[in-house]
Amino acid sequence: MGSSAAISYRILISTTGTKSTCGTAMGRRFLGTRKLTEDGTTLYFRGLRIYEAVIDELMEKGLTNATQALFTGCSAGALSMMLHCDDFRARFPQEVSVKCFADAGFFLDEKDISGKRSLWSLYDRVIHLQNVRKVLPKDCLANKEPTECFFPAELIKSIHTPMFILNPSYDSWQIRNVLVPDSSAPDKSWLSCKENIRNCNSTQVEVLDGLRNKMVNDLKVVEDKEDWGMFIDSCFTHCQSLSGVSWHSPTSPRLENKTIAEAVGDWHSGRSQGAKEIDCMYQCNPTCNSLPPPRDVTAFDHVEIY
């Protein structure tokens, strides 16, 4: 991880099947566990079983001998990783260092500009269609609806394994699909702004600031988690650990003069165990300006084990 301890090997498991070394993950996000028959057609949601089978096989092939492990994912893969983080930790002896790293998986329960809870509705359908309750935290389910427990703002309250959260506060995917989905702006007045934040007018930037403030508020619980870390920059992008340009380069985003790789490396190695950095609002961080316009990263949703 950047300048941190050496990495012995890397295994990539894709939630979309595009880069899988262990087979396609049916049941989005390694969560589903349901057999459904409708109109004579049977659907099998087996994401959870695939996750368990893959991890079991990796343990048999030598992962059980690891002295340290970092469980990480990007986008939907980061959310999946959060839901499995404590289970992954429980598979190792206590003396093994196990940590989790979530890149661009802090999805928000935020209304879109038309007033609809678009992402809530999507998650609610996923939970019921695929029978996802089994992986949701029991302490959360005791007091809240399953859909609420699926969102990271509630989910992280129940995670005990040390975790680092990397997320842009002006998350391009969430701006395009949660805050301003196409259905919320049929007049296309937001089209240029969604493509590149530099095209947004002052009124639109104020709306985006609201999304950023929601994320910062939802992350306050992390401040009380001593062995957790955060890098919340104000860049208009999504996954940042997949590209060397954003991860660690002369033009990488920086907070407190550290690149993402340096911040994660310091946290992972214990050099700065409680590193929690939240950027100021849009246009205040010049190191964001070197990033290219974000692209659709759906094909890169993944879970990794280092």
CB 185 within 8 A of CB 250: no
What contacts 22, CB < 8 A, 6 or more positions away? Answer: 11, 13, 50, 54, 57
DSSP three-state, residue 29: helix
Q: From CA 83, how far away is CA 98, in angstroms rounded?
A: 15
* 160 among known catalytic residues: no
DSSP three-state, residue 243: coil
At residue 157's C-alpha, the angle toward residues 152 and 158, to 5°, is 100
* 189 among known catalytic residues: no
Q: From CA 288, how far away is CA 233, in angstroms rounded?
A: 8
**If you search the block for the tokens 């935020």, which residue do you land on?**
110
Adjacent-strand bridge partners of 171: 237
Q: Out of 171, 218, 233, 301, which one is annotated catalytic? A: 171
**If you search the block for the tokens 């992402």, which residue do you land on?**
119
* 301 among known catalytic residues: no
Backbone angles phi, psi at 212, to 5 degrees: -60, -45
Q: From CA 135, how far away is CA 88, in angstroms rounded?
A: 12
Q: Out of 172, 234, 238, 302, which one is annotated catalytic? A: 238
The 68-74 sheet, strands edge to edge: 11-14, 302-305, 68-74, 97-103, 163-171, 229-237, 276-278
What contacts 154, CB < 8 A, 6 or more positions away? Answer: 137, 140, 144, 148
Q: Out of 14, 75, 234, 246, which one is annotated catalytic? A: 75
DSSP string, 139-199: HHHTTS-HHHHHSHHHHGGG--S-EEEEEEEEEHHHIIIIIS-GGG-TT-TTHHHHH-GGG
What tokens were used for 41?
Answer: 């057609």
- List active site positions: 75, 171, 238
